[in-house]
Amino acid sequence: MNAITSSLGKARSFINKSGFPYRSAPTPYGVEPAPVKKNTGSDFNTDWARKYPARLTRAMLIEGFMRPAMKFLADPHISGVDRLSGIDGPVIFAANHHSHADTPLLLSTIPDPWRHHLVVGAAADYFFSTRVGGTISSLVMSAVPIERTKVGRRSAEMVRDLIDEGWSLIIFPEGGRSPDGWGQPFRGGAAYLAIRCGVPVVPIHIYGTGKILRKGKSLPRPSSTKITFGDPLMPDEGQNAKRFAEKLETAVAALADEASTDWWQARRRAYSKTSPDLTGPDAGGWRRIWALGKNDRRSQRKRWPDF
Amino acid sequence: MKNEKNLAPRPGFVLDVDRTSPPVLFHHGDTFKLEKLPAGRSRVIYPPEPLEGLRDPDSAIRHALENPIGDSEPLSALLRPDMKLTIAFDDISLPLPPMRRPDIRQRIIEAVLDLAAEAGVDDVHLIAALAIHRRMTEDELRHAVGDRVYDAFAPSGRLYNHDAEDPEGMVVLGETPHGEDVQFSRRAAESDLVVYVNINLVSMDGGHKSTATGLSGYTGLRHHHNVHTMRNSTSFMDQENSELHASNWRMGKVIRDAGVKIFQIETTVNNNTFGRSGPLAVLQKREWEWSARDRASFVAMQKGLDVMPSSARRQIFNSWEAPYEMTSVQAGEVEAVHKITTENVYKQQIVEVEGQTDILTMGLPYISPYNVNSVMNPILVMCLGLGYFFNMYRGKPLVREGGVVIMSHPTPWEFHSVHHPSYIDFFEQVLADTTDPIEIERKYEKQFAEDEWYIHLYRNSYAYHGVHPFYMWYWGSHALEHLGRVIIVGGDSSAVQRLGFQSASTLPDALEMASDVVGPQPTITHMKNPPIFLADVK
């Protein structure tokens, strides 16, 4: 032991006394330092998470842990899977976003052949802010960093490359979890990526995960959920990302309506453009919360006694 | 998707050395040195970082073939079933080091042959346009054109090396207004279309030089590969001021007027010589940006190389294939194409430098255009340093007239007996007599050029032509005329002496010796090359 300590001490002493290249050289005066490769945020390299060892580990985690856990916590009722039967190849799954439970729920409910060939667009500034967080997110969720403030060229190119390689993408176009239970306006990212990659977008509505683990909570509690898959959408010829994002939002709103009522009513309202808005009333404070309760037809409970 | 490619490439720049500046990496043949330059009067020119390569080179090639530049129809419109088609391509001297597979030539030749097959062209020949360089081996040809092309054409004798000494295979097409004979490959001259496939590593390459030099022989080459042309090419990398360029352009016009139709395809590569990552990546990083891993790998590499025999070191470096990426491809009429190619070369290589220097230092690497898979003999050391590196300027030479060049290279008295037989005699006989290029040209050139044995070895073995070492010497004649002294650091002193240069053991010794010529406290400029850059000296 003493010999090892002594050798290490000698090596340290040698390095301390030696100059370059045993020690790093300072940046010369007047020279702009090289841009630092952060390897965090949108620079995080996730290539390794799509290699077979990581995929095998993830498949074991999803099938062995995530699916049973979601069955217990979320008891998902899945509908609309038949709408995916005509799709051949990679797609973009675009869902509303209420909770951290949304991603594991989708990873364990999206059917084959997509389930084990998925990447999840995750906020670069949140999931990839540290190397440890990025590594866990990549391994467990197959997450890839997406800049949520904008769709940067790098994010778009990365996603396009992945889709070209046959990977499908899960993305939450709202850009983050709902702060109050209502949805948020869809940003253009998913639509932009769909236009750029030329692949269909499958709208998905997730109901109930806000009750399991809403934003601000750290401990989940069981509740039932419903996942509704919509018809795949392709952008119209010449349609821009903003218009296509609106179309996506409308489609998810119609699915929300379908989940809370029935298909026929939802279709009628969709054609008459009277589907309930995902984003709730333009009001502040308690009135939005109150309206949320009124809108929640699946768990309609009396909030005020009838006299 | 690779992280290391995400950062925008930075341009080259000039570092003024102060006391805090780290030692600078010098290539020293197949080893390396770290040299501390005097503070306050030294500067180091760093090459630009590699530009991004084309994302889809194959699509870019197809697009270039169908959307030609200048007065040319798309390639597919020039092809017809009963035609004679010749595809000529650059030889082993480009790029340097050889690039990783697939070589650019393979990509382009396959695209051209696809169109030729679609058009039903039967009579197709492929020629390695090597002028009087050594013939390429089967492995080298396979590397350049790919196995599919090689296997389809070589066995039937339709893929071969140019033979500039074949009396039946060469023809003189005419004479330029300056009285220069234009000698050309007969097969190319008699073809309905010559497609030339070029890799433009430096601004001297390409244009009419591809065919006027590449498919020529001694009869044609002697008009511009001579001392007069070289001394009037200031520099031969600057087309506006290059007599070499002007002569090739005159010859190109004669070739065109003789009815030879040329469809020129030119490409440029970035200067990703040693890779953005990997064992040699440290060689293209700036010293203060070396990470702990870079420093560890450099120390390990340096120590390892120091204890290896030179043959093992040579083998290791000769096996290195550069991960070059294609940055542009353009096709069509020769001059219009070359104008754009040159702009693309400049985009990658230009570094602006303010003013000349008293002493120019350079660390010469293990490779030059003429020792791929071979030995870097003393004549090639001179040619690389005073021919190529010295001439990597536009405007004015980096070093002032009467200044000193200090080159770092082991300069062994060693030759490849198969590749460079005439070099041995040139070194032993000619340089023992004189090192004056004019005298050498007058007294010895014709004798070596017409020597039957050298011609036999050039045609049947893998030897450079008998006259080739002369051209190497002429390549450095502009520098020899311009400089006050040339010093080689760490070289074999007898070999250095034979070259007519001075030998120094260390860089400080060399600087001390140089001060006899340029005075005390001289200014010093170091070219950190490779990767390649072209100094635009104001």
Q: State the DSSP code for B73.
A: -
Which is nearest to B61 in space by CA: B81, B75, B42? B75
B320 within domain boundaries: no
pLDDT-derived band at B134, boundaries 50, 70, 90: very high
pLDDT over 50 (residue A250): yes
Q: Is B156 on the interface with A (CB under 8 A)?
A: no
pTM across the whole model: 0.73
Note whether B41 and B150 are same-domain residues: no
Which of B248, B269, B290 marks a domain boundary? B269
- Mean pLDDT across the stretch B71-77? 97
Residues of B with CB below 8 A from A21's CB?
34, 287, 290, 295, 298-299
Residues 132-161 of A with CB under 8 A from B: 154, 157-158, 161
**What pLDDT, on the 0 to 100 scale, is given for residue B169?**
97
CA B139 to chain centroid: 20
Chain A interface includes B297 (CB < 8 A): no
Pairing assessment for the beta strands A143-146 and B399-408 based on DSSP bridges: unpaired
Give which of A24, A38, A131 to mutate to test B binding, by max B Cβ within 10 Å.
A24
B139: tokens are 């492995």
**How many residues make up chain A in this entry?**
307
In a domain, A277, yes or no: yes
Interface contact B19, partner A, CB < 8 A: no
**Least CB–CB distance from A20: residue in B3, B23, B292:** B23
Q: How many domains does chain B have?
A: 2
Is residue B324 a part of any domain in this protein?
Answer: no
Question: Could you tell me the CATH number of the domain that includes residue B386?
Answer: 3.90.226.30
Both tokens of B185, joined, read: 């490959």
Look at A157-171, B92-106, B193-207, B209-223 and tell me which has the smallest mean pLDDT.
A157-171
Does residue A164 lie in a domain region? Answer: yes
In angstroms, the CA B513 to CA B503 distance is 10
**Candidates B14, B45, B277, B288, partner chain A, best to mutate (most A CBs within 10 A):** B288
Asked whether residue B66 falls in the same domain as residue B86, the answer is yes
Here the CATH number for the domain that contains residue A181 is: 3.40.1130.10
B117/B16 same-domain check? no
End-to-end CA distance of chain A: 84
Instruction: Give a yes or no: residue A264 inside a domain.
Output: yes
**Which contiguous run of DSSP H or E holds residue A228?**
strand A225-229
Average of per-residue pLDDT across B243-255 = 97
Backbone phi, then psi, for A206, in 5-degree steps? -115, 125
Query: Residue A98's pLDDT is what?
Result: 87
Cis preceding-peptide flag for A220 (omega within 30 of 0):
no
Please state, in angstroms and rounded to a whole number, the distance separating the CA atoms of residues B391 and B481: 13
Q: Residue B121's domain spans which residues?
A: 57-269
Position A1 scores a pLDDT of 61
Domain count, chain A: 1
Inform me whether the C-beta atom of residue A218 falls under 8 Å from chain B C-beta atoms: no
- At residue B410, the 3 state secondary structure works out as coil
Cβ of residue A165 closer than 8 Å to a chain B Cβ: no
In which band, very low, low, confident or very high, does the pLDDT at B527 lie, cut at 50, 70 and 90? Answer: very high
Same domain, B154 and B42: no
Q: How many CB atoms within 10 Å of residue B350?
A: 17
Rounded-to-integer distance, Cα A75 and Cα A78, Å? 10
- Alpha carbon distance A269, A297 (integer Å): 16
- Structural domain span for residue A68: 41-293
Q: Which of B7, B15, B298 sits opposite A31 (nearest CB)?
A: B15
Selected for mutation to probe chain B from A14, A18, A29, A38 (highest B CB count within 10 Å) is: A29
CB B454 within 8 A of CB B463: yes
Inter-chain CB proximity B6 and A154 less than 8 Å: yes
Q: In degrees rounded to 5, what are phi and psi of residue B332?
A: 135, -135
- Domain boundary residue among B250, B269, B288? B269
- Do B514 and B434 have their domain in common? yes
CB contact under 8 A, B7 and A37: yes
Q: Would residue B238 count as lying in a domain?
A: yes
Query: CA–CA separation, B268 vs B349, rounded Å?
Result: 11
Is B23 at the interface with chain A, CB within 8 A?
yes
Query: Does A302 reside within a domain?
Result: no
Last residue of a domain, one of B209, B243, B269: B269
Nearest partner of B489 among B475, B501, B477, B472, judged by Cα: B501
B374 and B426 together in one domain: yes
Q: Which residues touch B94 (CB under 8 Å, ≥6 apart)?
A: B199, B201, B205, B369
Residue B447 has pLDDT above 60, yes or no: yes
Any B CB within 8 A of A30 CB:
yes
Answer whether residue B275 is part of any domain. Answer: no
Over residues A45-82, the pLDDT tens digits come to 888 899 899 999 999 999 899 889 989 988 989 888 87
User: CA angle, B345 as apex, B54 and B526 as ends, to 5°?
Assistant: 120
